[in-house]
Amino acid sequence: MIRVIFLGPPGAGKGTQAAVLSEDFGVPHISTGDILRSAVAAKSELGQKAESYMNAGELVPDDLILDLIRERLDQEDAGKGWILDGFPRNVSQANFLDKLLAEIGQPCECVLNLDVPDNVLISRLLGRGREDDNEEVIRNRLVVYRQQTEPLIEFFRSRQQLVSINGNQPMDSVAADLKQVLQP
């Protein structure tokens, strides 16, 4: 059973690697973006609340995200373990998540951080060819990441939960390194 949180800047390959590990270990890859989209599509009570924030262009509040995550972790497939991608995004969310996981008896085993230099991230993100991905926007996303999310690295390191992986290598090598951590 694996219960893992994925950290890393935009373009580090979190989603790609989480999908590979999800397949290999038979546990769900839980992305907050996916949770929000499916709750909205299902028109659940939480989904409708989240949608009102999203439609107004606002961030969905932490307590609502936590309720959605609690609901998702209560589903049967998450009983065998999970890979959480995109949450927590800051130390306050990490503290909330910690309490939630203790409450539901699903402690996180480790936090995997994909470490990739900014110049590589920028060229990867520019290579995706998305409309909103120009260099200025990407650099700004990295600044926001460093300000909001990077303190999590120290938070989890201080708790001896953090394992950093070199994300600046071929995809297969990154996947092999991740598996090595999860199945020593």
Q: Is 130 an annotated catalytic residue?
A: yes
Tell me if 84 sits within 8 A of 30, measured CB to CB.
Answer: yes
Establish whether 141 is a catalytic residue. yes
Q: CA 141, 145, 146, 147: dihedral to nearest 10 degrees?
A: 100
150-158 vs 91-103: helix axis angle to the nearest 10?
50
Q: Which of 3, 72, 124, 141 is catalytic?
A: 141
Work out the end-to-end distance of the chain between its first and last CA atoms, rounded to an integer number of angstroms: 13
Catalytic residue among 130, 139, 159, 179: 130
In the set 128, 146, 157, 179, the catalytic residue is 128
User: Catalytic residue at 49?
Assistant: no
E strands within the chain?
2-7, 29-31, 81-85, 110-115, 162-166
Marked catalytic residue, from 3, 14, 72, 124: 14
For the question of residue 128 being annotated catalytic, the response is yes
Catalytic option among 3, 72, 89, 124: 89
- Please state, in angstroms and rounded to a whole number, the distance separating the CA atoms of residues 63 and 7: 20
Residues marked active site are found at 14, 89, 128, 130, 141
